Chains A and B, each alone.
Chain A
C-alpha cells in the first residue's frame, strides 16, 4: 500500500479520535452519573510501602461499590512532594484522588511547596497507625518509666533511628523527647525497614516506627515496644500499656486517608466517601488490613479535615523547634 491509499483511512481515524476527545470534553459534570469512568488514586510514594499496600487493597475492595474501576498510580519523589503537588492541581471532578497522609501536614513547613492540606477536600480517613518506640528485647529497660528516666539522666546518649529526616516518625520522637524533657540522638535511615534492621543489628538503641514496621520482630520476641503513643492499647499487644496510662500526657498517630482536589463538588465527595466507606467495611479489606497490622480508623470528611488542620499546626511548631 502506498501513502496515498493509506491517507483516507488515516483521515478517518483522525476524525474519529477528534470526535472521541470532543465527546469526552463535553460530558457534563453531573453528580447523578458520577462516576462514568475509572477513578485514579495518586500515591506520592514508590510501590510497596504501607500507604501503597493499604490503598491498593482498598481500591480492589471499593470498586464494586463505586461501580467503576479504581486505579492506583504511584508518583514518587521529593518525599511525597511530587505526588501531592500533582494531586492538588488535578481537575476537581472526582476522578483524580490523592492519598492524604501525615507528611501532607509536614512537608509544607519543611520545603518550599505549592500545596498544603488546604488545597484538598477531605473524603475519608482509613488508617490511623499508632506511633511507638521499639528497643531490642534484651535492652536493659523493662518499662517505659525506666527508659524515660534513663533518657532524662543521659541526654544525647540513646540513639533513636527513624525512617527519614523530618519524616513523621522523626518528628514524633522529637515531640516525645520534648514531652518528657529528654534529648535523644536521632539517626535517620532511608525508610522504616532499614531502621528496624539497624536496631536488630544493635547499631541503634531504639527506633521510632509505625506498624507494620518491626511488629513481626516484636511478635517473634526479638524486639519490644518500650513506649506506645496511641490513645488505646493495640489489639495485637493487649499487655503493652500506652504512655498516657503511665502518666505521660502524650499521644500521636499517623493517618492515611483519601482527598480530592479542592473545589470538587460535595455531591461527588459524598458518592466517593460512601463507596470507600463500604470498601473499608468489606471483609476482604478488613482481612488484609489485619494481616498488615495496620489499625483501621474511619473518620468522615468533616472530622478528617479538622484532624489534618490540627496536625498541620502541630507539625509547624515541631519543625520550627527542630530547625533551631
Chain B
C-alpha cells in the first residue's frame, strides 16, 4: 500500500505540472514560534583587522497551531558576517536532508549588494509538533551588528536574547520600543568568562506586519540597539563608536580616501555653468545637471557602502549611488568656489539621530551648501525636485555635515505642505449637456516631482496620450484640446499645464432643471483605512496641498441652488469644500491639506469619519433651476 501511495504521489506530481504555490498565508496565525533563543557572545579573535568577533547562536522552534504547512526560513549575512552551520530538527530528530540554499539576495532598486541569504523550507509536519532550526553565525566586526530585534514574521510565545559581554569589551545596549511589550532583563556575571550576561526574556510578541506606507521597523518593534564603544584585547585597544565623534572620524577617514581629481571636476563645472553669471543660477545649474545626467544606482557592498566613489568616476560612468552623487555635487560646487560639504543623514525610515553613535543612524548621503550665511541641502537622487525644496523622506532629519576633523549637526528644514501645492483652476460654462471652458494647472515641490516622474517614466511616443489620460482620469468624455505644458525639463520652476475643456454629459438635465457635479477629481474619496486589517500608522508619501477652483457661469434665466459647505480641520489635515455665488457665477473652491504626513493609528477612526464626510460632500450637486 505504501508503495502504491508513493507511485500515486509521484504521478500526482507529474500531473500537476502547473501548480502555483501551495502555501496559504499566515493571516490566521497558524504558525507560531514557540520559543526562540539567541545568544550573542563577544570573543577575541586572532585577527589584527578584526580583533573582536561576535558568535551568534540561534535556536527557534516553530509550531503550527491549526494545520500543517511549509514555511520559509531565512537568515541574512554579508561580507562582514558568515553562517557557520545550520541544523534542522523535526520532532527532535535531526533532518540532515534539509539543506540550506545560500544565495545572493537581490533587493529591489539596489543594483548591487553584498547581502546574501541562507534559506530553508521548514516542514511543520503536524499540529503541535516542533520544527527547530539551530544556526551558528559570526560577525567579524561588532560595528556591523547594529541591532537585535525581538519580533519575527510569526507570533513569538517566548524569546530569550542573551548578550555575553566580556569585561574587556565596552558596549552600550539601548533598549528601544520596549513600551507595551512584556520584556524583562536579567543581568548576571559569569566568573569563568569574566563577562556580564544580559538576558532579555520577551513573551507573547506579535508578528511583524507588512502594511504598506508604514513607518520603518526601528520606530515600531522592540529591539536592542548595540553601541560598541571599545575593546581591549591582546591586540591592543580597539575603539569603535564610543561617541558620535568616533563615528564621524571613521566616516571622515573614508572620505579622505576618495581621491577626487579636482582638475577634471573643475572643467566639468565650468562647462555646466558656461555663460551663467549669477551664483544662484550656477548652483541651480549644477544641481539640475547632476539630477538629469547621473543615473541613480544603489550599491551596498561592504566598505563601498560607506565610502563615496570618486567624483571623476561618477562623472565618467554617468551613474552613482547617493554617496557618489553627493560627492560629485560637492566637487562641482567646490570647483566653482562654493562652500559645499558632504552630509550623512538617516531618512525618515530610521528612528534614530546622531545622539546615537552607530552605523544604524544613517542610510543616505547628500550635499550641504553654505551660501551667504544660509545653509541649503542638495539631494540629487531626487531627480525632479527644485533647489531649496526637500523631499519628505529627508525633511526635519538631522544631518551630520563634514567640517574637516569635526562635524556640524544640523537639521533639514521641515517644509510645510505649501511646498507641494497643486492648483487647478477651471472657468466653465454650460453648453447643452456639456461643460466648456479653460483649465489651468500648477504643480510645485513633491507634487511636481511625482508628475515629472510619471512623465519621464513614459515612452516618448506615448507621453501625449498618457498626459491626456492622467488629466482626464481615463474619462474620454473629459475632452482636452490645446494642451500647453511648461518646460518639463526645468523643475526649478512651477510646472504648468493649460488646456481647453469640453466635458461632455457633465450636465444632467431633467425637465427645467440642470444638475452639475462641480468636482471632477475627488481626491481622497474612499480613502478610508481598514482598521480591522491595518496595524501600522499610515505615512503619506508627502504633505499634500490641493487647491481647486471652478467658476461656473450660471446660464441666463437660471438660478443656482448650492450644496452645503464642508469644513473639516484637524491637527494633521483639513478638507474645505465651499460653494458661493458671486454675481452670475457659482464658485466652487476646494482645499485639501495633509499637514502631517504621519497619520497615527489613534487618528484612524476620526480620519475615516472625516473621509466619509468628504465622500458625502463630493456627491452633492449644484442645481440650476429655471427662474
Asked if A pairs with B, the answer is no
Q: Which A positions have Cβ atoms within 8 angstroms of B?
A: none
Measured CB to CB, the residues of B under 8 A from A are none
